[in-house]
Structure formats: structure tokens, C-alpha cells
């Protein structure tokens, strides 16, 4: 694999250690969703691990390691989503509703969207991939870091990474 090609424009273009989707059979059946971490570069960071109450994000042997996830332990709580300084964590719940995915995404902009609002769902390069509906807005750590819960078409689960109000 050519690592330079993967990062020449700053956009993740393929799966690699630190950027792996959950096992499909578990992803389609786990109520509450599963975390997806797209953090494929070794950097000194571990808030995803230290914020995980179930130990689903394994401890790092080296602070520069990329995250490793035990999906059997993940509850989709989104605490890691709110703690990740690189906006690399999100939760996808494919059991939310038939034909839909509930995405729990980090959101650091103002104004905040409102529950029930229709928003643009964006891909990794900022392109609009679909429209979504805001189902909930949470502040898991009570530190003004928000997680927006948005429904989108289930076939967009591998594309949606942010929203635009």
C-alpha cells in the first residue's frame, strides 16, 4: 500500500489499521450502534480509549498507536465521539429504522441544529452525499462538546461523516 497516496490530499481513501469498519454481521444487529474510528496515522493521542466506559477501545501500548476496537464490548454510547480532538470517531446504528442509519457525529459549529431539522450530510471531502434529519443533540461530557444524532439512508453509512446546517 502506498501511504503517500492515501494521505496526499488529507482524505482517507481506504481501510487500514486505525480506520476499519465494524464486522458487518455485528453492525447490522447491534442496537445502539457501533463506533467507527477513522484515525489511521500514528499520533500521540488516546482520549477515545480513556473515555470508553466498557474498554471497547483497547489501551495503547504506545501513546502513538492507532486505536484498536473490540466490537463485542462497544455499546454505541458515543462518549469517544465527544472526546476525540481529531473528529475521527462516530457511531453508526444500522438497527435504528428500516432503510435508515442513525449517525452520532461530532459537531463543533454554531448555530446548533434543532431536533427535527433537515440537514445536508457531508462526505469526507465536504461534498453533500444526502439529506438527513436531526433526531437528537447530546452533550455527553457536559463540556459544550456536542454530538448530533442524524438519520440518513442506510446505504450512505460508509459516506456520511459530517453535517451542514
Read off the pLDDT of residues 13-70 as tens digits, 9 standing for 90 and up: 667 777 878 998 999 999 999 999 998 788 899 999 999 999 999 999 999 998 999 9
- What torsion do the CA atoms of 126, 130, 133, 134 make, to the nearest 10 degrees? -20
Residue 147 near residue 162 (C-beta atoms within 8 A): no
pLDDT at 20: 79
The pLDDT of residue 7 is 53
Q: How many domains does the chain have?
A: 1
Q: Beta strands of 55-153 (E only): which ranges?
A: 89-97, 100-107, 118-122, 128-138, 146-153
d(CA 20, CA 2): 17
Quick one: cell of 92? 453508526
Between CA 38 and CA 66 the distance in angstroms is 9
Question: In this predicted model, which residue has the larger pLDDT, 43 or 78?
Answer: 78
Cis peptide before 111 (omega within 30 of 0): yes
The model's pTM: 0.90
152 or 6, greater pLDDT:
152
Q: Is 154 exposed, middle or buried (0-12, 13-18, 19+ CB in 10 A)?
A: middle
CA 104 to chain centre: 7
Domain that holds residue 96: 3-164
Amino acid at each position: 500500500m502506498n501511504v503517500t497516496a492515501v494521505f496526499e490530499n488529507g482524505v482517507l481513501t481506504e481501510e487500514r489499521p486505525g480506520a476499519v469498519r465494524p464486522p458487518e454481521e455485528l453492525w447490522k444487529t447491534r442496537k445502539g450502534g457501533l463506533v467507527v474510528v477513522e484515525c489511521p496515522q500514528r499520533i500521540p493521542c488516546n482520549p477515545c480509549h480513556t473515555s470508553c466506559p466498557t474498554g471497547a477501545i483497547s489501551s495503547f501500548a504506545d501513546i502513538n498507536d492507532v486505536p484498536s476496537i473490540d466490537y463485542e464490548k462497544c455499546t454505541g454510547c458515543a462518549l469517544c465521539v465527544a472526546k476525540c480532538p481529531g473528529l475521527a470517531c462516530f457511531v453508526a446504528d444500522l438497527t435504528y429504522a428500516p432503510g435508515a442509519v442513525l449517525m452520532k457525529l461530532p459537531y463543533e459549529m454554531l448555530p446548533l441544529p434543532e431536533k427535527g431539522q433537515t440537514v445536508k450530510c457531508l462526505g469526507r471531502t465536504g461534498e453533500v452525499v444526502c439529506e438527513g434529519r436531526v433526531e437528537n443533540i447530546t452533550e455527553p461530557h457536559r463540556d459544550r462538546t456536542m454530538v448530533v444524532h442524524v438519520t440518513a439512508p442506510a446505504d450512505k453509512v460508509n459516506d456520511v461523516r459530517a453535517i451542514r446546517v
